[in-house]
Amino acid sequence: MSPKRRRLQDELKQTRPFRSPAAEATVAIVKTADVLKRRLARLLEPYGVSPQAYNVLRILRGANGKPMATLEIASRLIEQAPGITRLLDGLEAKELVRRERCKDDRRQVHCFITPSGLEVLRALDPALNEAEGLWATRLSSRELKTLIGALEKVRAEEP
Amino acid sequence: MSPKRRRLQDELKQTRPFRSPAAEATVAIVKTADVLKRRLARLLEPYGVSPQAYNVLRILRGANGKPMATLEIASRLIEQAPGITRLLDGLEAKELVRRERCKDDRRQVHCFITPSGLEVLRALDPALNEAEGLWATRLSSRELKTLIGALEKVRAEEP
DNA sequence: GGAAAATACTTGACAAATCAAGTAATGATG
DNA sequence: CATCATTACTTGATTTGTCAAGTATTTTCC
């Protein structure tokens, strides 16, 4: 079917090689992220949860029952505020998330994951871990460390 | 000035660390791709070109005047066919791209970049190279090589 | 050579992301 | 203590991206 381990240059059928390793890395990062997102979306599809919605649920589970304001969730995602509101609307409609206006500061809205939300996450966990482990075994732990460190440097702001 | 090299855990304000390096890497890849895309979008904004449209122009420039079929472009992007058609519609409307139905196989549509399209790319090249070089200098060439190789392994299909 | 399958898009309907502006509540200032 | 600025969202309009079908060719196989 499809050959594995093609070089990115081959994958993109580029006639000329990349002008610089940095250019190649840029394309590689964006393309890999897309592949990962698609894999995740495929896993989530049966549950009617989008990757972003899944991330929100994960964040709320990580809060361990503590209330979390809407914009606090946004800041942990790569998502702008307007998107979060509607994402939470959807999750609340499915009763995976509960929201209530905060007593102390009535501008804020506190969000919680519901038991159903936790259940969905629990049902997904094994498949997610498996998918992740699949490619992780192809990398040495040194490679993984370098990868994570290098990406950190790419994201770092201009000095 | 303190270095802005926050760990991803801090950036995401996660209470607990990632369960595995693979999990951390996954988030790092997706998040980094997003940062890169946003940086690119900011550079392109004055020219009214989206990141995807920019990639199409780059691909067509790479073809060096040779005609390129619509789906051939799609295969080099991470984009589905329907998106490409409309992307090209937009680029053709701006006269950055020219299309004509192929004589030999009238199902195909051949695409070319126009002189205006090349001009836009040329105008953008310096800023792009600079932005890229900015973070590239923070990585040793060994790190870059490992990064590219590791991402290839992540993208590889299941065996 | 003519039906059936495959290819190369194209179109339309719909979900998701972004931007601009608006509202309610709170904090800061004079 | 009243006004101005800020914060924390929300809503609406626009754009972008995706999926499902549809159309025009071309190729394949009797």
Q: Could you read off the pLDDT of A132-155 as tens digits, one per residue? A: 888 889 999 999 999 999 999 999
Q: Give the residue, B25 or B79, on which the prediction is more confident.
A: B25
Confidence of residue B54 (pLDDT cuts 50, 70, 90): very high
Give pLDDT tens digits along chain A (159 positions). 333 344 454 444 445 567 889 999 999 999 999 999 999 999 999 999 999 999 999 999 999 999 999 999 999 998 888 999 999 999 999 999 999 999 999 999 999 999 999 999 999 999 998 888 888 899 999 999 999 999 999 998 765
pLDDT for the residue numbered A142? 94
Are A55 and B8 within 8 A, CB to CB?
no
Quickly list H helices, A45-137.
Answer: 51-62, 70-76, 81-93, 115-136
Contacts of A71 (CB under 8 A, 6+ apart): A81, A84
Judge whether A20 is closer than 8 Å to chain B, CB to CB: yes
Helix, strand, coil tally for chain A in percent (to 5): 65, 10, 30
Pairing of strands B97-101, B68-69: unpaired
pLDDT for the residue numbered B81? 85
d(CA B133, CA B142): 16
Of A26, A76, A135, the CB nearest to B154: A135
C-alpha torsion angle, residues B109, B53, A5, A7 (rounded to 10): 90
Q: How far is A139 from chain B (nearest CA, A)?
A: 7
Query: What's the mean per-residue pLDDT of chain B?
Result: 87
R_g of chain B computed on alpha carbons: 19
Tell if A105 CB is < 7 Å from nucleic strand D. yes
Task: Assess whether pLDDT exceeds 90 at residue B66.
Answer: yes
Report the helix count and the strand count for chain B, using DSSP H and E. Answer: 7, 3
The secondary structure of residue A157, as a DSSP letter, is: P
